[in-house]
Structure 1
């Protein structure tokens, strides 16, 4: 039985997995992502790592059906190219598929990393029982992937699923995209900190979070949720504000698409029920009744494995399409 290769390319780490055709991980490993020299080492390092791992596990190219990869940046799926992946130091168009297929001789499919993680949760995670799923990843930024009737939605210019750039506060915080009030500035890991710093300026009660900020200590989203869980008043106000904006944005998604599940993943989702319960409340407050009663907000199940599993599913889909 042939196997699949999944790659999750990140700005600091590249994760790999060999999987069976049912999406079960057989082995996995990772390497640092070398973004020096305008990212010119990234693709050669990926190819070399796969070749080395195949040799180590006594596999040949013939043992594999194909390779899928999730990547940051703007992806041209048809051409197999990546553009404007700034955290990879890629400022020009990168012909990734051409390079990897040339090196390894295997079919190669590439997708945006948030879409790849969405496919992972859809195939083997929290959305595996559904045909209509929206995945939102709360990490350094906010990404999203939309699956409708089993198919990933890209949109006319690849902008489908850009949930992080739904405006939740007109004239709010300036976003890296150039507009103001994007969800990403409020519900990402950095967004939670933005909200905490802003609210601390107006807070005058007793708060460990306020003390840490006033003393110049660095805080993280993890700090905020931890203190909220331990009764800190300011931290709880911050979490409420973050969940209010997240629930509002997800209600817009729900009202537009009415998926069976909206799945929340990424590092911020490690806050668990503290995040889930409040976000669900604000989702239900703002959702159309028929949507409120049918769309469920859930936490992702696959953690860091979603990317490689989703990437492998791309390779499987490609193989199946070739066999039709």
Structure 2
């Protein structure tokens, strides 16, 4: 096995995170830069290149020290061409060419994939996935996405949309989704979905509730506030969490029945609610899965947090 290093880049709407890793996935150096999305994101790739070049100088390293660079990015990724389009939180509306530009500037082979796919690879390699060949990571953030590793292979689908569990229909008469259809999982179980469910349920709720008081006062709430109130025994908040858990259990149950992974890992911002959320989702997951899946597919919390992206990106470089 080569002793060359791996470089992982996790590109997000606010920061780009970087890490230099060993072949075993041990992080040796980490740093980050702000993501400058001005001018339709024209500065993002040049800034990434400059940061890599600066840090290689700083650590007295050259292109010859590296097996490759891997990067996770929002948007629709063509992994073969190394292009990205439609990453709206990066202001990338037109086709971008990260592979072409970064390889040309650094002289290091480059691989790229969608950010949730990359985080799934990180969790599978060094996190809660325990190096299993069958792992799905479901990221509960502003939206909901999933990275699916099946029989050791990352699934992409014919147009890169494999794993779009956020757009699985869980309530056909439910809320309108940004994708244009009704009742998608992310309309009720993402960070924004939890708040939407909370506002609607608060309007119909007549009992005592600190959460209802906050909403009636016109103050902003977040999914964290909803879960914090629920943990303190707030009746309305507990009802909201139960409804969200029902829809998540239904969506993840469908995923389990279709893929039968060893682990479905729950990550992203909403997963900070921890076992309080997991135990409630698991109850419904067991209700919506048939016996063989119920006994063999386990729900778990993701464990790598902020480093999942750079570790998974490095694993792209490894392959």
TM-score bracket for the superposition, by shorter chain length: over 0.9
**How far does residue 54 in structure 1 lie from its aligned partner after superposition?**
1.2
2:229 equivalent to 1:227 = yes
Look up the SS of the partner of 1:30 in the other structure.
strand
In structure 1, the partner of 2:86 is 84
In structure 1, the partner of 2:308 is 306
**2: CA distance, partners of 1:45 / 1:129:** 33
- Correspondence 1:128-277 to 2 at 5 A: 128-277=130-279
**1: CA distance, partners of 2:200 / 2:124:** 36
**1: CA distance, partners of 2:122 / 2:204:** 42
Q: 1:85-125: CA deviations, max 9, x gaps?
A: 11110111101100101111110000000000000001111
- Give the TM-score of the pair, scaled to structure 2: 0.98
**2: CA distance, partners of 1:292 / 1:60:** 50
**1: CA distance, partners of 2:18 / 2:189:** 28
Stretches of 4+ moved more than 2 A in 1?
A: none
- Give the TM-score of the pair, scaled to structure 1: 0.97
- Correspondence 1:101-116 to 2 at 5 A: 101-116=103-118
**1: CA distance, partners of 2:112 / 2:269:** 23
**1: CA distance, partners of 2:124 / 2:309:** 11
- Within the candidate set 60, 65, 68, 1:66 is matched to 68
**1: CA distance, partners of 2:179 / 2:252:** 20
Q: 1:6-40: CA deviations, max 9, x gaps?
A: 01100111111111111111111111100000000
Q: Which sits farther off after the overlay, 167-176 or 40-49? A: 167-176
Look up the SS of the partner of 1:293 in the other structure.
helix
Look up the SS of the partner of 2:296 in the other structure.
coil
**How far does residue 56 in structure 1 lie from its aligned partner after superposition?**
1.4
**How far does residue 127 in structure 1 lie from its aligned partner after superposition?**
0.6
Q: 1:183-230: CA deviations, max 9, x gaps?
A: 111111111111111111111111010000111111111101111000
- Where does structure 2 lack aligned partners over 5 or more consecutive residues? none
**How far does residue 296 in structure 1 lie from its aligned partner after superposition?**
0.2
**2: CA distance, partners of 1:302 / 1:179:** 33
- Within the candidate set 274, 279, 282, 1:280 is matched to 282
| TM-align CA RMSD | 0.7
Q: How many residues align?
A: 317
